[in-house]
Structure 1
């Protein structure tokens, strides 16, 4: 096959490209220029989005012996990822920009361009596995559970999966680094990227404050106690908070019992942030929209319920046993294992064993009632 290898400048994508060549594919390396102004994105060799990363990717392509090009997708990236990130925070929600980048950029814009140019597939350094079963295409977890990235790939549809290669799904990170060194790739010891690529210094709150400024309705508001309704302090913007946050609350006085408080709810219209004890973070029901099927779709009315059905709610979070009801473009998830600190805007990804079934964007969650309490609290829009 003719394959485009998306090369970020990190070790994973370099080894993935090398493995694609070794598998007999005709491979062309590409690096994505995602910033209109490279100086405005993260500096330093961290594996994504910097000038140093582009140079690292080019050197790796030279060592592997494949053609290499830079594709400018900065306008598309700004619209589909950066603007989405700001809009989601402005709505009092918590986005996942890496998931949105996979959906809109790496496996949409890049794939569409690759197919138009006569390529058959896009290869990346993600840790996941694609399996063909009876004519259906399936996405499964990687062998290395600590590095598994199937969660952020849960937005890929059947067409995208059929044109995707994940050469690292059967190996571990340690072995990838060993292989890179063996192949003479200088990125063998390069650190992984953890920060959001378009936030240059890793200060998400500072970046959002600069970009959003006084943008209504998130400028300023009260921090209130969940149990009493008392005003405990004020803040400069709801974008500085996420559900489950403990640090940086700057409250005027401690809780009566001396225990830490956590963010329980964010109301962007009034600007109210509600805080309370950790046990009030427990959630037993989730609603989501923007439903995406990862492979074959399931009809509305389907209920997934069994020992192997789980959901994952964070990129490297735990699995939770669940009962999942499918709507027209929605999921209703009953968590059999409670989860803590679930925020609207995050993704809920549904698994059947190791297979990814699909995903949705969380719109609401229901907090577990405290023991002896008469009602149940709700979080979300």
Structure 2
């Protein structure tokens, strides 16, 4: 144990003697780990938020598509679907997107029903709403500088202004989904979107038995051939693809990080500098065994790589979960989107963290063994003579 502590102390002092070079390696190593970890943390948290929001989604969503464009759904479709065996209920939904020219952002206008109230997490004390009362998400309150009791003016498709009174604001567990929401009565939403009384924007079909979802979907298509069906499982797979390793940004970051690491590892494996060779020769001349030299060099690589890994990992955690990912946010939000300013809930996959450490720290330590061994087996006198 005493010998190990001496070798550890020597390895640490050796790293400090070459401060500029080792600091550069440490900085690059930390940057590689930071980029990969930050993107992975952000995508993991967004995926978790999406999965939480999907818990309140119906098993099947019915839309009306004509020539690739979504049109209102006739309420007569709901009557045809309600009689299908396996369907618990069908809820016509009135909602849509509204572009606000004052802030340049898109709002989500929602006509509240019982399921919408549950999914959005609207507090009971704010209900019920009157015809011209609205509940506004935090992002709109900040963007339009609104206050409770103040007026919010929106426009119909024919540019007729409609005034609403802000009754309150709310925030759910999934702030990404409610930050830009304006909730109002279903009648007010119909009037704002100029939607007829016998139409809805889509239909929410609730199927209590997940095994029957596919069969219910087939029956719906037989009764309504032109309908478009979106199953909850399809949404889950879509989010998994968007926020998983198959996403374009994740692939680009992964390839960039791997290339940078391979360059770093290649430089390490290519050979030792003259100063490092002289240091090994001095140790051999003082009586050190080859295995002791290799062990000390491995300790240097381990200290350097593990320190860089921890710095990059901690910096990524702080950047995403404490600061709110300011450097990466623009890559995940559109030009007309309202994005929450508060941090995301922490989601850390320890399996991925350990895998990243295995793919970075272990190879960096391993690639340095061969050049050190080659230098250690050379007679010190040959090295001194140059």
Q: TM-score, normalised by structure 1?
A: 0.25
Judging by fraction of residues, say which structure has more helix. 2
Q: TM-score, normalised by structure 2?
A: 0.25
Higher RCO structure, 1 or 2 (CA under 8 Å, sep 6+): 2
Structure number with larger C-alpha Rg: 2
Judging by fraction of residues, say which structure has more strand. 1
